[in-house]
Amino acid sequence: MAEKLLLDVHNLKVSFPTEKGIVSAVEGVSFTVSSGETLGIVGESGCGKSVTAESILRLFDEKSVEYGGEVRYAGRNLLELSERNMEKLRGNEISMIFQDPMSSLNPVHSIGRQIAENVRLHRGASKREARKVAIDMLRQVGIPSPETRVDDYPHELSGGMRQRVMIAMALACGPKLLIADEPTTALDVTIQAQILGLIDKLKKESEMGVILITHDLAVVAEVCDRVAVMYLGQVIEETDTDTLFFGARHPYTLGLMRSVPKIEGERQDKLHVIEGTVPSLHQIPVGCRFAPRCPYADDQCRSEMPQLQSTVEGHRVRCWHIDRVAEKEGNAHDAVAIG
């Protein structure tokens, strides 16, 4: 089946008012997601990954947030839809798995009721049918004894099991697009592999598109088709997964990959560290936002903002010194274990 464009995010901007003035959390972000494709979004904490994801579903208080650009799904700009129409999409055609399951689950309702409620709302199922779906989804995400656990409350489950419930809830209506924000953070390695395998299986069966937000480059290498690397509210590199690991061209991307601990061989070198920290949104540098931490930065970097430019088809990099980085760095594929 040929890939079909599901989501087209173009020049997305998201600003919030604060006591110190308006801050721009996301600035000019663009990417696409097609059916049957997994796009990974990576970067340090505070780079705008979660804000970007939540903005697609317009989850912020719209009395204070200001959106710009376009988020097109099925030909419609989601930033212009009425709240009623957005409610029809959320949890139905577009679902999201959140980082913190305890704050996302209702403590006074059983987990089965919360999953079933979504199925009844969007699919018009009866109580009995919706309960069966809830039990089946709990089974698929690895909850033991789902027939009895379906009546448990969130506080009766471990953090990892609550996260699996959130995943079950997100997948219950068979969404066309799934946004997964660090979906396996609270899970052990075995369950993590199971959940990622389940998402991948459903993606292939239903041609579901997936946006996977993660800090784990090994997960990116395993399940993502393309990757967008974000830094301080901007996409600074975007390409297919193989190209990223075998031919990254932005100094920040290279730094992220070299920061991954390696367990093979002799440990003779210290763990690589990217100097400095992500600046506050109130102190965004002039010019390239990564310049204060970049070993290649010069006067041009500190005064002029680079635009995303294509090195080869499908590989975009936001850097003034792509050729210089390529000449010195070569391929950085040995910086992280891909297998």
Element (H, E) at 260: none
pLDDT tier at 333, thresholds 50, 70, 90 = very low
Say which residues have a Cβ less than 8 Å from residue 95's Cβ, sequence separation at least 6.
Answer: 169, 170, 171, 173, 175, 177, 178, 179
The reported pLDDT for the residue numbered 337 is 40
C-alpha span between 35 and 33 (Å, rounded)? 7
Summarize the confidence of residues 198-210 as an average pLDDT. 88
Please indicate whether residue 279 or residue 69 has the higher confidence score (pLDDT). Answer: 69
Q: CA-based Rg of the chain, rounded to a whole angstrom?
A: 21
Q: Note the residue count of the chain.
A: 339
Q: What confidence tens digit (pLDDT) does each residue in 20-64 have?
A: 889 999 999 999 999 999 999 999 888 999 999 999 999 998 888
C-alpha span between 239 and 261 (Å, rounded)? 23
Q: Residue 259, class by beta-carbon neighbours within 10 Å (0-12 exposed, 13-18 middle, 19+ buried)?
A: middle
Cβ(291)–Cβ(302) under 8 Å? yes
Alpha carbon of residue 236 to chain centroid: 15
Summarize the confidence of residues 6-33 as an average pLDDT. 94
For 148, list phi and psi in degrees, rounded to 5: -100, -35
Q: What confidence tens digit (pLDDT) does each residue in 92-105 have?
A: 999 999 877 667 89
Where are the extended beta strands (E) located within 140-253?
A: 177-181, 209-213, 226-231, 234-240
HSE-CB at 137 with a 13 A cutoff on CA atoms is: 29
* Structural domains of the chain in order of their starting residue, each with its CATH number: 1-93+175-339 (3.40.50.300), 103-174 (no CATH)
C-alpha span between 104 and 162 (Å, rounded)? 10
Summarize the confidence of residues 110-129 as an average pLDDT. 93
The reported pLDDT for the residue numbered 264 is 62
pLDDT tier at 186, thresholds 50, 70, 90 = low
Q: What is the DSSP letter of 90?
A: B
The reported pLDDT for the residue numbered 72 is 97
**Beta carbons within 10 angstroms of residue 110's beta carbon:** 17
Model confidence at 238: pLDDT above 70: yes
pLDDT tier at 237, thresholds 50, 70, 90 = very high
**Beta carbons within 10 angstroms of residue 48's beta carbon:** 25
C-alpha span between 132 and 137 (Å, rounded)? 9
C-alpha span between 158 and 147 (Å, rounded)? 18
C-alpha span between 229 and 253 (Å, rounded)? 7
